[in-house]
Structure 1
Amino acid sequence: MRNIFILRSIRKIYQFFVDIPIKEGTVLNDRYEVLSVIGTGSYGIVYLCKDLKSQENRVVKQLRPSKRYNKREVGLFERETSVLRTLNHKNMPIIYEAFSYDEYFFYVMSFIDGDNLEHQIFFSKKTFNEKESLQILEQLLELVDYLHKKDIYHQDLRIPNILLKDNELFLIDFGLSRQKVSVDPLQSTSSSLHNKQESILEMKQQDYYDLGEILLYLLYTTYFSKSKKALPWTEELSLEKGTVNLLKRLLGINEPYLKISEISADLHAALKAKEKEY
């Protein structure tokens, strides 16, 4: 245990000195001028850049320099660019190109001008009532449905990865996303096919679980505790029966959902119940 702690400490120190963001004003690939750092993740640094050719803002993501010699991390970065290339949705980023120099890896995508839900909730103090929370989930479910129909599973659906602009949702950050690889049934054993199907179901349900957590986050924005004692959400939140059922199935408390059409049916029933109140 002590050795693991030492290795982690060494790695953090190494990353501190190596993963230094690129300076403002630097021009990448003879085209993209760095304006600012807009985000850092576990394996990437994200920059707002000006495209000197089109004069438009772009987002450039860099694989952390500390990970550029790690084949697995490079592979994950390349997998993300591959996933982005398959997307064609107005509420998701467009990838323009990927490039590298001196073994540093980058890709360029569209800039979406909006605040993420985390910023809006915790800094702008934006709140969502039950109906508004369900409407947000409705938009998000449409985006997840689009991905799943393309055999893409986001695997990192969190409020920092959801942008909201003029009440319209945008989904970003596909760094942990997975894409189903076609399997030739003639060259696969029944056991491997079964495992593959189980894996796909697990990825689907991970996205469903994340949807449940997001809905719970939104619902709690209007909650004010009257007691110092923490209680389960089923006791703290006063929700319609349909919303409770939806949450319990998304979170795996009750029978988990197997497909998006089931979620959609329960979501619309919950929304219909709330609309009757207005």
Structure 2
Amino acid sequence: MKLNGRDIRTIKGALSLSGYQLSGVLGSGRFGTCYSVSRHEENFALKVFNKNDVKRRKTKIAREGKILAAIDHCAIPKMIQVIDADGIYGLIMEKKPGNSLEELINWDYDFSENEILSITTQLIDIMEYLYSLKISHRDVKHSNILWDHGKIFLIDFGSARMLSEQKRRFNADFWGIGDVFLRLALTSQEMALDEGDFSVDGLGLDDMQKNVIKRLLYSKQPYESMYAVKRDFKKVFNLD
């Protein structure tokens, strides 16, 4: 989304009503732009949605804020406030630290096996919490996971839905967990056996470990519950 000077002034004005200041741009995507904002020396993230999307489907866009407001987990940004003024609709959220896994991969960071197992275990625990609330993230990927001193944070709930709304046989959350593991493992000198093999079979895993990842990626009988995912992952990687 490309904003003109008037849009920026409008955002600054809407923020000032609640005591916030616009600090900078964090990034942009097809649904809008994320900004860094501050208040009383504390930093937050502001997600401003595309104006056309707000006009066409404001009810659906508002769902992200409602879902975040129902979540209370240290690895997920807290919902702070909705900005809805002068055609600007956005969400002010807690700003989590760290760099995305996507950035780290692009910077050729060599993840160790222990780091990859820790990241995946934390991700499964976060998803287990969300499923206890009947929430599906539906966009689990490297750009939506921040990593900071060994801890991960799951962000961007723009595609999230309640599980009761899911009618598909394919579970995007399971697949996302498997994809995160695979992509990190393929960058790891410790885990990747063949630089030219980008499949699960190209990793230094035993058959039981490969089977769990393949089930997550739907190349084997898929999982039906997050509980089973957590149970099997911890068992085959000796994390109990």
Describe how 1:142-153 pairs up with structure 2 within 5 A: 142-153=125-136
Q: Which residue of 2 aligns with 1:242?
A: 208
Q: Equivalent of 1:56, from 23, 30, 42? A: 42
**In 1: Cα distance, 2:82 partner to 2:28 partner:** 18
2:33 corresponds, among 14, 37, 45, to 45
Structure 2: runs of 5+ lacking an equivalent: none
TM-score by length of 1: 0.76
Q: Deviations over 1:179-203 (max 9, x none)?
A: 145xxxxxxxxxxxxxx6x71764x
Give 1:130 deviation, angstroms.
Answer: 3.2
C-alpha deviation, 1:47, in angstroms = 0.3
Amino acid at match of 1:148: Y
Does the aligned pair in 1 maintain the 2:193–2:203 contact within 8 Å?
A: no
1:119 to 93, 103, 110: 103
Q: Percent identity?
A: 25
Aligned residues: 235
State yes or no: 1:160 paired with 2:172.
no
Q: CA deviation at 1:253?
A: 1.1
Is the 1:50–1:56 contact (alpha carbons within 8 Å) kept by the matching residues of 2?
Answer: yes
Distance 2:5 2:135 in 1: 30
Greater CA radius of gyration, 1 or 2? 1
TM-align CA RMSD: 2.6
Unaligned runs of 5+ in 1: 1-14, 182-195
Instruction: Verify the 8 A CA contact 1:134 1:267 in the aligned structure 2.
Output: no
- Distance, in Å, in 1 between the alignment partners of 2:194 and 2:45 is 43
> 1:22: how far off?
2.8
- The one-letter code matched in structure 2 to 1:36 is G
Task: State the 1:245 CA deviation.
Answer: 1.1
Q: Give the superposition deviation at 1:50.
A: 1.2
The offset of 1:133, in angstroms, is 1.6
Q: In structure 2, what is the Cα distance between the partners aligned to 1:16 and 1:44?
A: 9
Cα distance, 1:246 vs. partner?
1.1
Alpha-carbon separation, structure 1, partners of 2:194 and 2:224: 37
8 Å CA contact 1:18, 1:66 repeated in 2: no
Cα distance change on mapping 1:136 and 1:17 into 2, 3 Å? closer
